[in-house]
Structure 1
């Protein structure tokens, strides 16, 4: 049998294991059920991929994330290792072929979602496979107290009776002590070996800054640290806005969000990975499988939803072991915005029930029908039709997706196909009678010479460039040609594909999962409280706060976070700085940056004193963010 290190060197080109990897591999090879808590960047996948390669048979990997499954399968295939993922949208015939490949094609890894195990015929096929290891990735999803609970994970323990001698390996990057205990119990792990890597990242300085002008502070941070950086934002619009603002300030910046095409995502990510761009501005869609060692700063400009996500995203900094920064920028309005964003848009049982019934009606699904039916779906159109709030509806649909009631896969694409239905001489005649349309039609015909023979994929932006006309002008001509039966023209612009996994049962469906909704809503509120405590607690080391949240007790301050730095630096005397600011405001109104430049004090000291003056009704903030003396 090949040694673990030989396998690591052969396929992954590493000469040594990271902390705990070898111990976890040995535990699995000894046939022991194993629980491994390895914070982000710890190399969890090696812990099951290496032992699976050392043994005969196939490793079953249960994962909740389609993108992560595809990413890992692609990485394994690149290394010449045979791997398959059974993701959503695969037809039954194709699924049978894939499972045949697993049984007879010497495959080493089979990835699937926990929902797939609920199909009896798939389970029967898996029972006949030569399984050598069962890996449960993102194992916190099995716990009602985990930040992404999925009830389908509770069924995984049923595999124990079919594979009593096969070890289970449960992996997670973020779990509080309560979640850890829940994972072990809910998966039915038998006397598991437990491995826990410390959550401490001694090279990361966790910084919390209360600022008025976030862009100005970002500019300061990026100028001070010109190495690769990630800026996390909450939505797609912010991605574009912050990226373009940074470009106007002279930074090389790109962006990444779920609405981009695969080609755009790859292009933008490679631009950042190759350091053609210093900064990538991203939503939380960015990060899975990203392992860039020299990220110097990770900046969050809006409050995260929970500390689990924050820790994972912040942990993408400093993986080379050098000092790095995780900065969280806050302003007084953030708390209200975050509550509106995360708490006020949580769907309750009544809304969930109403939305589910309307969703079934929208697709004309009769009671007792609908299983495995697939539809294209436009969320905004659906919300407009039934006057539902968009974000609350999206959250309700995500909840139904996590419960396995539906599959909601994002597409965000526009596909246009085109074919001319009349002979070329008739098209020429039409152009002579409609000279205003001639430039556009000629550009199409020159670009797509086979457009008379078949439906042809049509690139609108290409014709915009070639014809010197706007997209709306081109679309107007296409609509006119379609109305006159000159062309066949199809435009598909949907933001999702929706699959119904169960028959429609209205209240019965919702009643079955309502308790999970209530638990999740309560959990989200508690998690947000922990985030607010993290940013508002001014007398405790930030690293210590994170460690305590994940159940690690320490009495030692990190020495490099925003609290520790403030403690080291002698603070400016509040009274003298108050007098100086008061004197400045007697002559003119100023914003905090002007005051900082005039007093030459640190931004934190200036903000602290301004808050003190505001609380004592000595000054006011005007709508233009300038401070003025209270008359």
Structure 2
């Protein structure tokens, strides 16, 4: 291990390994298949990068995350270590050159996605490389019980035939006991050494608060904790809206989501990393490779899709060892929204079959034909033609892609983005002078309320449909508005492409893969139920609930989560609290915030009493979040 330590000091500037990095590296150097379960921030990449550097040859790294591959390759190159990644969009002749470099250019790391192994000619080239280690990152993707199952991962095991003496290292940051066992089975790990780092983070206080006024509570939390924070939301629109609210409260904030241009992502990230703004508001697209030690607070404004993602996202707090907070805010309507957002967009077998048949018809592919044919593809136009819901259709296409039936290029950012650059009163004046343009412009303003504040992704197909015109007229108007300097217009030619990987067989094709769809839908439902249970269960330590989900038992309560704090504080007699609330509601309807102010009782006591009164049908909650006596 002396050489491993020398490499760690030379390239990573650390004098010692973190547990269990040293044990994992020793296992790999001993030629043993190894399984490593290390939570976010545990330093997984070191576990394959160091042993690969100590030996002759090249390390093959299989990862599904293009952004992470690029990030790791860039970091290695900055250290003077030769590494390349075979990501999407690279022409075949360039791939040949890159693989030649791997074979003859003394490269140490080759990153690729599991789908690349499905190309026979690439596999043939890899078989001739001097591979010294095969690292499988995000290994939970190999399991049908994993939260991001990808069938292409099942092909990795064939590398065992070509490299029988090369150790496999499977790495993941989130796997239940069932997933761990399935990974070992599917990758055929030979009597592997298993290393698991505890998921327990004793410096993170997991807090769950139920409130009708999330923004008010958000303001209180960020005022009390002015250090760097991340707020996670579930959609792009909420990013800009939340930033707007925070700025109105006097906080500095920026946002990050998958639809931002690369330069904006970089600049927004830099603002937050350099602490020129306190808060980063983001979707789950944010976090890849983020290692900022002093993040004090992670706040989830909406319910997450699963506890695996939730744990990874909250794990970005308190990496410096200082006390930090992971806060989940919810209200009674969140359950409906979460089920609609995460489960309502899952395609079933019938919808999947319909999408596949229409996709073949769309490109005029006859039954028994279509293999290796490639087409430009616009998701919005396809959905508009067949009146399909966009997100559900995208999920169906993504499933077909993961099953290898089609290859779908991931280029679904909108083709067009616009921003009005004159005041709203001038826009109204323009419409009064150009009545022919009024209907389309009104439709744009109603559909995109934030279009004065920022460049906004724009769907011309949707606007054409809503305004009873056609897409050509909409795009023509945009060009005219740009020339008259009414709007700033950005148009990009980034339609997706679809490649058919097998012949069209309709139901036979879908029947073959439908069992995977059913199991994935069932898993996603179970995962959301686990989130709902975690958010609603108020008689158990939150840390215990999380650890139990990941198959880890802890005996003692953490002492710092929302449950433990409530338990240790002096509780009001629930009947007295309920009586005070009922007395108030006899006067008029109130929301929980006003009830708390008027009763001068602790918020937890008020919420607990309100929940009991709701369960007993003593009170009800109206659509405007006011409580009323039944």
TM superposition shift of 1:66? 1.4
Which segment is superposed worse, 523-532 or 231-240? 523-532
Please tell me whether the aligned partners of residues 257 and 283 of structure 2 are also in contact (alpha carbons under 8 angstroms). Answer: yes
Relative distance call for 1:500 and 1:16 in structure 2 (3 A) is farther
Which segment is superposed worse, 527-536 or 309-318? 527-536
TM superposition shift of 1:511? 2.4
* Structure 2: distance between partners of 1:207 and 1:478: 48
Cα deviation, 1:23-81, whole Å, max 9, x if unaligned, reads 11111111111110101110000000011111111000011111111111111112111
Please tell me whether the aligned partners of residues 261 and 412 of structure 1 are also in contact (alpha carbons under 8 angstroms). Answer: no
Relative distance call for 1:306 and 1:24 in structure 2 (3 A) is same
* Structure 2: distance between partners of 1:548 and 1:625: 34
TM superposition shift of 1:623? 4.0
* Structure 2: distance between partners of 1:243 and 1:477: 28
The alignment status of 1:252 with 2:252, answered yes or no, reads: yes
TM superposition shift of 1:491? 4.9
Please tell me whether the aligned partners of residues 27 and 34 of structure 1 are also in contact (alpha carbons under 8 angstroms). Answer: yes
Which residue does 1:266 correspond to in 2?
266
Which residue does 1:562 correspond to in 2?
562
The alignment status of 1:399 with 2:399, answered yes or no, reads: yes
TM superposition shift of 1:260? 0.4
* Structure 2: distance between partners of 1:414 and 1:339: 29
* Structure 2: distance between partners of 1:273 and 1:526: 36
* Structure 1: distance between partners of 2:412 and 2:491: 14
Which residue does 2:40 correspond to in 1?
40
Please tell me whether the aligned partners of residues 353 and 506 of structure 1 are also in contact (alpha carbons under 8 angstroms). Answer: yes
Please tell me whether the aligned partners of residues 300 and 327 of structure 2 are also in contact (alpha carbons under 8 angstroms). Answer: yes
Relative distance call for 1:586 and 1:360 in structure 2 (3 A) is same
* Structure 2: distance between partners of 1:374 and 1:276: 46
* Structure 2: distance between partners of 1:67 and 1:30: 31
Q: How does 1:186-335 map to 2 (within 5 A)?
A: 186-335=186-335
TM superposition shift of 1:240? 1.1
Please tell me whether the aligned partners of residues 596 and 602 of structure 1 are also in contact (alpha carbons under 8 angstroms). Answer: yes
Q: How does 1:35-114 map to 2 (within 5 A)?
A: 35-114=35-114
Which residue does 2:409 correspond to in 1?
408
Q: How does 1:453-472 map to 2 (within 5 A)?
A: none
* Structure 1: distance between partners of 2:79 and 2:166: 26
Which residue does 1:544 correspond to in 2?
544
* Structure 1: distance between partners of 2:301 and 2:181: 33
Please tell me whether the aligned partners of residues 379 and 412 of structure 2 are also in contact (alpha carbons under 8 angstroms). Answer: no
* Structure 2: distance between partners of 1:258 and 1:364: 32
Please tell me whether the aligned partners of residues 621 and 627 of structure 1 are also in contact (alpha carbons under 8 angstroms). Answer: yes
Relative distance call for 1:532 and 1:622 in structure 2 (3 A) is closer
Relative distance call for 1:490 and 1:331 in structure 2 (3 A) is closer
Which residue does 1:476 correspond to in 2?
480
Relative distance call for 1:103 and 1:503 in structure 2 (3 A) is farther
Please tell me whether the aligned partners of residues 143 and 179 of structure 2 are also in contact (alpha carbons under 8 angstroms). Answer: yes
Relative distance call for 1:503 and 1:581 in structure 2 (3 A) is same
TM superposition shift of 1:620? 4.1
* Structure 2: distance between partners of 1:546 and 1:129: 43
TM superposition shift of 1:617? 4.4
Which residue does 1:424 correspond to in 2?
none
Please tell me whether the aligned partners of residues 411 and 494 of structure 2 are also in contact (alpha carbons under 8 angstroms). Answer: no
Which residue does 1:626 correspond to in 2?
626
Q: Number of residue pairs matched?
A: 572
Which residue does 2:341 correspond to in 1?
341
Relative distance call for 1:477 and 1:392 in structure 2 (3 A) is closer
* Structure 2: distance between partners of 1:617 and 1:511: 47
- Structure 1: runs of 5+ lacking an equivalent: 417-435, 437-459, 462-470, 481-488
* Structure 1: distance between partners of 2:607 and 2:243: 27
* Structure 1: distance between partners of 2:508 and 2:125: 30
Which segment is superposed worse, 499-508 or 133-142? 499-508
* Structure 2: distance between partners of 1:212 and 1:69: 41
* Structure 2: distance between partners of 1:343 and 1:626: 28
TM superposition shift of 1:622? 4.1
Please tell me whether the aligned partners of residues 401 and 408 of structure 1 are also in contact (alpha carbons under 8 angstroms). Answer: no
* Structure 2: distance between partners of 1:72 and 1:234: 26
Cα deviation, 1:101-120, whole Å, max 9, x if unaligned, reads 11011111111111111111
Which segment is superposed worse, 576-585 or 294-303? 576-585
Relative distance call for 1:505 and 1:89 in structure 2 (3 A) is farther
Relative distance call for 1:502 and 1:267 in structure 2 (3 A) is farther
TM superposition shift of 1:154? 1.2
What SS class does the counterpart of residue 551 from structure 1 fall into? coil
TM superposition shift of 1:587? 4.1
Q: TM-score, normalised by structure 1?
A: 0.86
* Structure 2: distance between partners of 1:564 and 1:495: 52
Please tell me whether the aligned partners of residues 377 and 494 of structure 1 are also in contact (alpha carbons under 8 angstroms). Answer: no
TM superposition shift of 1:15? 2.0
* Structure 2: distance between partners of 1:362 and 1:177: 44
* Structure 1: distance between partners of 2:268 and 2:610: 41
Please tell me whether the aligned partners of residues 409 and 498 of structure 1 are also in contact (alpha carbons under 8 angstroms). Answer: no
Which segment is superposed worse, 100-109 or 580-589? 580-589
